[in-house]
Amino acid sequence: MTKQLRVALAGNANVGKSVIFNQLTGLNQIVGNWPGKTVERAEGTLHFKGYTIRLIDLPGIYSLSPFSIEEIVSRDYIATEKPDLIINVVDASALERNLYFTLQLLELDAPIVIALNQMDLAAKKGIRINVKRLSELLGVPVVPTVAITGSGINELLLTVIEVIEEKRKLQPFNVRYGQEVEKIIQELQEIMKREPSLADVSYPLRWLAVKLLEKDEDVIKKLRDYECADKILKHAERLATKLESIHGEPSPVVLASERYSIASKIFKEVASIDAYPRISFEHKLDALTTHKILGYIFLTCVLASMFTFIFIGGNIISEYLDPLFRSLIFQLERILQAHLPEIAVKLISNGVLDGVTAGITIALPYIAPFYIILALLEDSGYLARAAFLMDNLMHKIGLHGKAFIPLILGYGCSVPACIGCRIMETQRERLIAAFVVTLVPCAARTIVILGLVGRFVGLYAALGLYAFNIILILALGRLAFKVLPGEPVGLIMEVPHYKKPSLRVVISKTWFRTKEFVYIAFPIIVAGSLAITAMDLTGFIEILTSNMKPLIEGWLGLPANAGVPLIFGVLRKELTLILLSELIPLESLTAMQMIVFTLITMIYIPCVATIAALVKEFGWMKALTIAIVNVALALLIGGIAYRVLTFL
């Protein structure tokens, strides 16, 4: 009979935790949210040595203090769910800083095995670690790994099984502070021991004592469920004041300093650093891409190259696929005409086949190259540096550099970009970030920009629309900052090491994102195309276009039936171009009409999936407000653009 295990991966951000998770679980992954929290939960399964191991990838955090939702989620899972084992993934190239979190895990009495990852990067930095001595000091197994190549992963799993089967005994390091601090912790712990109501508390009493002295608001809130809460909290406040009077610092600072001091002592005992480490290419590249002048030039070149590659690559693929599929459609139509009535042929041909063909020849050629580039930027470590560079600019709209990451993700898809706004610290910052993210041209809107303006008007016109969009985002973000006043939080963010992107990871990310696009978008594209065909056959399009004529023709200067694709564009933005191509020969539109149509599509109401994400993150009222503002803005700018371009 297969034995079941629950193992959690825990560690700082950018230590290679997710790479280890992917190496272990492969395609057997489920991604959702933690119950009641807007924090992503990734789970996977693997089979090893007669065990079915359920692996939980905890959020990347730096401590078990309640500074973020992620930290509370992680520590509650470890303390209350009590997994069979914790794999603490530690960055060998930043060992001293990472040990701070390891010590906190040991304080929670969690059974751990350490994956000492990124050993190759440590070696490049001239850091040599005595793995055996580190294991002896911490009293837990330490397995050196290089996750990106798979080195040490098998040994890590073998070690996990040995610990579970008690073939390797754990003798965890007993975290002890300085004499005055330790005396106060033990006094509070003894007071809590005498309270019967605390017998069933999930957390270790010593850890609770430390957290109360750190004035941990989440722990204080949880403690209030017990009868003795007031009494314990009074003692904790008295002892924290005593600790502060001895050290002359706030008690949370005193305990953090003590912990860092222990981590530093361990590091000095197990690590040595070469006096003159070799300056690697990665260091030189890092200096260039974060330079206060050259960094921005590099970023501009990266973004311009990205959109140029998508445009050229998309055009080549589209021009190759279009005649191929048109010929195939023609042959299928002839077969259908021989066996079915005319109305059925039109529904199948114009509705289903044209919808599928348009999705393959118009949408996929532009979205696949974008996903390839996004995966390369993510896996190389450049996205975090772009966020660092953009910090000053983001502050102009009341955000900080981390907001640049969901903005960049928005060029792929608005849904993960909206969800990605969770990395912002306050609700106000999340809302401003989500608002500006909905204005970013996602891959679906990129299809319209490059497939219509880029293809028929020219690349410079398409890039001009992107430039206008950036100015619009900054202006409206600034306005939102004024409407929702408050001070932006400073940027606290891990900048990962540069590394050569893994071909396997890039292909995997591109495949999963493209597959998700096909599964979600194609049914909607076909349904929209089928609905348009049915409306055309029943004459409903004529009624609709007639009623919309004053707005579409009069205010926006577009052909009257261009309003129908805009309505269906709420389902998917690339649907506007696909349906437009079915109603009007694209070549018949003027350059001005193409630009106005694209501007409206680029700005107006997000797709239904994005609206659903906004509702989930912020509620109906805020999601509806963002949607209404976007529609009004699109119609206003579209009308102004029509008049300006006509005048020119």
What is the CA 239 to chain-centroid distance, rounded? 41
pLDDT, position 528: 65
With respect to residue 141, please indicate whether it lies within any of the assigned structural domains.
yes
With respect to residue 270, please indicate whether it lies within any of the assigned structural domains.
no
Pair 238, 323 in one domain:
no
- Which residue, of 224, 247, 270, is where some domain finishes? 247
Pair 140, 200 in one domain:
no
With respect to residue 274, please indicate whether it lies within any of the assigned structural domains.
no
Q: Tell me the per-residue pLDDT of 20-64, one tens digit each, with 9 for 90 and over.
A: 888 888 755 555 444 444 456 678 888 888 888 999 888 877 777
Domain count, the chain: 3
**What pTM, to 2 d.p., does this model score?**
0.64
Orientation angle between helical segments 427-437 and 608-618, nearest 10 degrees: 170
Pair 439, 544 in one domain:
yes
Please, are residues 86 and 75 in contact by the beta-carbon 8 Å criterion?
A: no
With respect to residue 254, please indicate whether it lies within any of the assigned structural domains.
no
Torsion of the alpha carbons at 631, 632, 636 and 642, rounded to the nearest 10: 20
Pair 50, 111 in one domain:
yes
Task: Give the pLDDT band (50/70/90) at residue 252.
Answer: confident
Residues 6+ positions from 448 with CB-CB distance below 8 Å:
573, 574, 576, 577, 597, 598, 601, 602
CATH number, domain of 243, equals: 1.10.287.1770
Return d(Cα 274, Cα 171) in angstroms, integer.
Answer: 31
CATH number, domain of 11, equals: 3.40.50.300
Please, are residues 381 and 497 in contact by the beta-carbon 8 Å criterion?
A: yes
Taking phi over 0 as left and psi of -120 to 50 as alpha, with beta for the rest, 139 belongs to: left
pLDDT at 486 > cutoff 70 = no
With respect to residue 280, please indicate whether it lies within any of the assigned structural domains.
no
pLDDT at 568 > cutoff 80 = no
Residue, of 443 and 41, whose pLDDT is higher: 443
* CA 425-491-611 angle, 5° bins: 40
Pair 159, 221 in one domain:
no
pLDDT, position 433: 83
Return d(Cα 414, Cα 401) in angstroms, integer.
Answer: 18
Pair 117, 234 in one domain:
no
Pair 120, 19 in one domain:
yes
Sequence-ordered alpha helix ranges (H) in 248-381 = 251-270, 281-289, 294-337, 342-346, 354-358, 364-380
Pair 232, 146 in one domain:
no
Q: Tell me the per-residue pLDDT of 598-609, one tens digit each, with 9 for 90 and over.
A: 999 999 877 766
With respect to residue 172, please indicate whether it lies within any of the assigned structural domains.
no
Pair 107, 138 in one domain:
yes
- Which residue, of 133, 164, 195, is where some domain finishes? 164
Pair 140, 203 in one domain:
no
pLDDT, position 87: 94
Q: What share of the chain is helix, strand, coil (3-state, %, to 5)?
A: 70, 10, 25
Pair 322, 426 in one domain:
yes
- Which residue, of 211, 232, 247, is where some domain finishes? 247
With respect to residue 287, please indicate whether it lies within any of the assigned structural domains.
no
Q: Tell me the per-residue pLDDT of 340-378, one tens digit each, with 9 for 90 and over.
A: 887 787 778 776 777 677 667 766 776 778 778 878 887
Please, are residues 477 and 398 in contact by the beta-carbon 8 Å criterion?
A: yes
Structural domain boundaries enclosing 203: 179-247
Average pLDDT, the chain: 81
The first and second tokens of residue 101, run together, are 């979190």
How big is the chain, counted in residues?
Answer: 648
Pair 431, 531 in one domain:
yes
With respect to residue 278, please indicate whether it lies within any of the assigned structural domains.
no
Q: What is the DSSP letter of 446?
A: H
Orientation angle between helical segments 95-107 and 205-213, nearest 10 degrees: 120
